[in-house]
């Protein structure tokens, strides 16, 4: 099983990226919390990996931190929560915040995330309540620092298009994703920062 990849980042289009490891390109899916930490293309990258083996595919999921990976593994053990929904959850809330929501039985905080209804929220709280007794919180610098890299995108329109596409990939409808981005100040911001702000605004409104 693959547990870690170290190579060169050659593609990134949320939620997918590709890492070149000695001439072999590994396709990896990652939450937006990890995308915020990505370097420029053609730069070195190291990600922790969770590998899912199916009859028709071998899928790789990449994470910036061990906490993200541990939470992802816990989430996909919950009945009705697959890898796609687990990535969506990690994209909308940090690992530390998710643990806090579960500990506080905050059902509304879970429902505010895309793809989670009342029944799924209740199931998450019941099944995950006792899994975080030994959870060690990571600092905000480790988990929530967006990278503002100059020159990564050429125009404001391209940034907006990439941001909307990422939100659609996370489960939002195209019209809703477009509205979420249009409500933001898009000048001099990276797509990563726009996506993060859009997700935060969604949580605040619920």
pLDDT single digits (tens) 112-124 = 887 788 999 999 9
pLDDT digits 0-9 by tens, 34-84: 887 888 899 999 999 999 988 888 899 999 889 899 999 999 999 889 998
Domains and CATH numbers, the chain: 4-63 (2.40.50.140), 66-134 (1.10.150.20), 153-205 (1.10.8.10)
Collapsed DSSP state (helix, strand, coil) of residue 114: coil
Annotate 82-103 with DSSP letters as a single string: -HHHHHHHHHHS-HHHHHHHHH
Q: How far is CA 43 from each of CA 6, 12, 38, 82, 132, rounded to the nearest angstrom?
A: 11, 12, 9, 31, 35
199: CB partners within 8 A, 6+ apart: 32, 91, 92
- Does the predicted model carry a pTM greater than 0.75? no
Counting Cα atoms < 13 Å in the Cβ hemisphere of 72 gives 26
pLDDT digits 0-9 by tens, 7-33: 999 998 888 999 999 999 999 999 888
Distance CA 114, CA 172 (A): 7
pLDDT at 183 over 90: no
Q: How far is CA 31 from each of CA 15, 39, 47, rounded to the nearest angstrom?
A: 6, 15, 12
Q: Which residues of 129-162 are buried (b: 16+ CB within 10 A; e: fewer)?
A: eebbeebeebeeebbbebeeeeebbeeeeebbeb
The DSSP symbol for 132 reads -
**Closest alpha carbon to 147 in 203, 195, 105, 190:** 190
Tokens of 143: 């988990």
pLDDT at 111 over 80: yes
């Amino acid at each position: 099983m693959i547990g870690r990849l170290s190579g060169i980042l050659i593609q990134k289009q949320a939620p997918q990226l590709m890492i070149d490891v000695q001439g072999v390109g590994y396709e990896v899916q990652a939450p937006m919390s990890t995308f915020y930490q990505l370097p420029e293309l053609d730069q070195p990258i190291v990600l922790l990996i969770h590998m899912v083996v199916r009859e028709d595919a071998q899928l790789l999921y990449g994470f910036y931190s061990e906490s993200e990976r541990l939470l992802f593994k816990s989430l996909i053990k919950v009945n009705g929560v697959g890898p796609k929904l687990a990535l969506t959850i990690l994209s909308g809330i940090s690992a530390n915040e998710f643990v806090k929501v579960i500990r506080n039985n905050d059902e509304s905080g879970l429902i505010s995330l895309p793809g989670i209804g009342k029944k799924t929220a209740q199931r998450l709280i019941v099944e995950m309540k006792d899994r975080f007794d030994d959870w060690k919180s990571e600092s905000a610098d480790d988990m929530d620092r967006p990278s503002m890299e100059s020159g990564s995108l050429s125009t404001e329109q391209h940034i907006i298009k990439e941001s909307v596409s990422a939100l659609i990939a996370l489960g939002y409808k195209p019209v809703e994703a477009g509205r979420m981005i249009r409500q933001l100040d898009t000048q001099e911001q990276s797509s990563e920062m726009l996506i993060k702000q859009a997700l935060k605004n969604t949580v605040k409104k619920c």
